[in-house]
């Protein structure tokens, strides 16, 4: 006779486990649902005690017992388990845990092979972020994009969902150093501008334009290797810069300012970085295809003498450089 109550208790335990798994970190569950349940219980017991006499209360208790006896029918138990199985198969969640660096991050989750986003959220990721959605249990591959990290393909099981720790499970975007040349620094010091473009199907589109006599970098901050800095020193020596100029250049390259292009630059993108003077004439530039390296060094150089910088926009220079002009 205990098998029916045991099945009902097991069903409640499974439901609570499922809710706890997919609603992890959802404060409203405890802040609203539980106080509301306690208030509702107090209200019902108060009304029963106030409006019903002793016989009517006994009758109500008998009705409640009859309700629970009905709940213990095998047909109803089977229906409860079937409903729970259908819900767990077709509704799931992806939990994205906080990152070490707390900042606004865009999260986009797309079914593999689909052009429409399932989930599209922007959050500071100060705590676990739960992304709830309906799922096809036979197509569990999803493409996850978290700003600051490379795109990844993840598997989302229908019952348990999945949990993502970005700092552990995802690969950070490359760090890209836009290493301004000495001539470029002179232009930036006279109210010139640093401009960044990304190649698209419609041409080079601007990502950022900043002013300031600095080198710039995008992506996460990473330590520069000693080998890379030694290459810079040898490059400056080979170009016959005096020790003071070399020291100034190295100081700027070693302490670049953060640039936040929108959208972020990732592997496979073709970018064009340039320095333009106050009249928007390009003085130095570079075009680079971003590879798989974690740290990408893009040295800007003066334009060749035979490069015609006659376009109306700096993006024209990017097209000329990419085509091999000069």
Residues 201 and 315 in one domain: yes
pLDDT at residue 38 is higher than 70: no
| pLDDT value, residue 47 | 61
Segment 33-56 shows an average pLDDT of 63
Helix axes 243-254, 226-238, angle to 10 degrees: 150
Domain end call among 117, 144, 169: 169
Cis status, amide bond into 263, omega within 30 of 0? yes
Number of domains in the chain: 3
40 and 121 share one domain: no
pLDDT > 50? residue 27: no
Residue whose pair of structure tokens reads 């208030």 in the numeric block: 39
Least confidently predicted of 62-71, 80-89, 159-168: 62-71
Q: What is the mean pLDDT of the chain?
A: 80
> How far apart (Å, rounded) are the C-alpha atoms in residues 192 and 279?
8
pLDDT of 84 reads 82
**Quick one: pLDDT band at residue 217, thresholds 50, 70, 90?**
very high
- Find the helix packing angle between 74-90 and 54-71, rounded to 10°: 60
Q: Quick check: 153 and 112 in contact, CB under 8 A?
A: yes
- Which of 150-164, 173-187, 247-261, 266-280 has the weakest average pLDDT? 150-164
| pLDDT of 42 higher than 50 | yes
Closest CA to 114 of 150, 143, 93: 143
Which residues on neighbouring strands pair with residue 208, listed in sequence order? 196
Per-residue pLDDT reduced to its tens digit, 232-291? 999 999 989 899 999 999 999 999 999 988 788 988 899 999 999 998 889 999 999 998
Query: 129 and 24 share a domain?
Result: no
Give the Cβ contact number of residue 34 at 10 Å.
10
**CATH number assigned to the domain comprising residue 118:** 2.60.40
Q: Is the pLDDT reported for residue 35 higher than 90? A: no
Whether 26 and 119 share a structural domain: no
pLDDT value at residue 48: 60
Q: Are residues 36 and 126 in the same domain?
A: no
DSSP per-residue codes, 264-278: PP-TT-EEEEEEE-T
Same domain (yes/no): 318, 211: yes
List own/partner pairs for 185-188 with CB under 8 A and 24 or more apart: 185/213, 185/249, 185/252, 187/275, 187/276, 187/277, 187/283, 187/284, 188/212, 188/213, 188/214, 188/275
Task: Sort strands 282-289 and 301-302 into parallel, antiparallel or unpaired.
Answer: antiparallel
Instruction: Give the per-residue pLDDT at 326.
Output: 43
Pairwise pLDDT comparison (188 vs 25), residue with the higher score: 188
Q: Is the pLDDT of residue 225 over 90?
A: yes
Q: Is the pLDDT of residue 101 over 90?
A: no
Q: Do 215 and 128 have their domain in common?
A: no
Which of 112, 144, 169 terminates a domain? The answer is: 169
Contacts of 276 (CB under 8 A, 6+ apart): 187, 192, 193, 195, 282, 283, 314
pLDDT at position 249 is 93
Cα 82 to chain centroid distance, Å, stands at 36
Give me the domain span that covers residue 24.
3-90
Residues in CB range of 21: below 8 A, 6 or more apart? 93, 160, 161
Residues 133 and 222 in one domain: no
pLDDT band at 152; cut points 50, 70, 90: confident
- Over range 186-203, report the average pLDDT: 92
């Amino acid at each position: 006779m205990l098998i029916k109550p045991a099945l009902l208790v097991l069903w409640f335990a499974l439901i609570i486990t499922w809710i706890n798994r997919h609603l992890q970190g959802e404060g409203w569950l405890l802040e609203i649902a539980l106080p509301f349940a306690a208030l509702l219980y107090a209200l019902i017991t108060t009304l029963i005690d106030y409006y019903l006499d002793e016989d009517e209360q006994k009758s109500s208790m008998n009705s409640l017992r009859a309700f629970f006896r009905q709940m213990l029918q095998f047909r109803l138990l089977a229906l409860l388990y079937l409903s729970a199985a259908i819900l767990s198969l077709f509704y799931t969640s992806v939990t994205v845990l906080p990152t070490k660096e707390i900042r606004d991050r865009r999260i986009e989750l797309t079914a593999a092979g689909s052009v429409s986003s399932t989930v599209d959220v922007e959050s500071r990721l100060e705590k676990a972020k739960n992304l709830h959605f309906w799922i096809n249990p036979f197509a569990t591959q999803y493409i996850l994009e978290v700003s600051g990290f490379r795109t990844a393909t993840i598997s989302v099981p229908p019952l348990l969902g999945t949990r993502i720790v970005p700092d552990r499970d995802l690969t950070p975007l490359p760090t890209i150093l836009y290493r301004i040349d000495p001539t470029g620094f002179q232009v930036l010091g006279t109210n010139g501008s640093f401009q960044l473009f990304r190649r698209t199907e419609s041409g080079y589109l601007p990502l950022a334009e900043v002013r300031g006599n600095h080198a710039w970098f995008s992506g996460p901050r990473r330590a520069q290797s000693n080998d890379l800095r030694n290459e810079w020193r040898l490059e400056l020596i080979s170009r016959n810069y005096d020790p003071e100029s070399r020291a100034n250049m190295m100081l700027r390259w070693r302490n670049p300012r953060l640039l936040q292009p929108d959208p972020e630059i990732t592997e496979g993108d073709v970018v064009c970085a340039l320095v333009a003077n106050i009249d928007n004439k390009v003085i130095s530039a570079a075009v680079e295809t971003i590879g798989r390296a974690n740290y990408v060094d893009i040295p800007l150089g003066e334009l060749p003498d035979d490069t015609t910088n006659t376009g109306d926009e700096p993006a024209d220079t990017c097209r000329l450089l990419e085509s091999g002009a000069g």
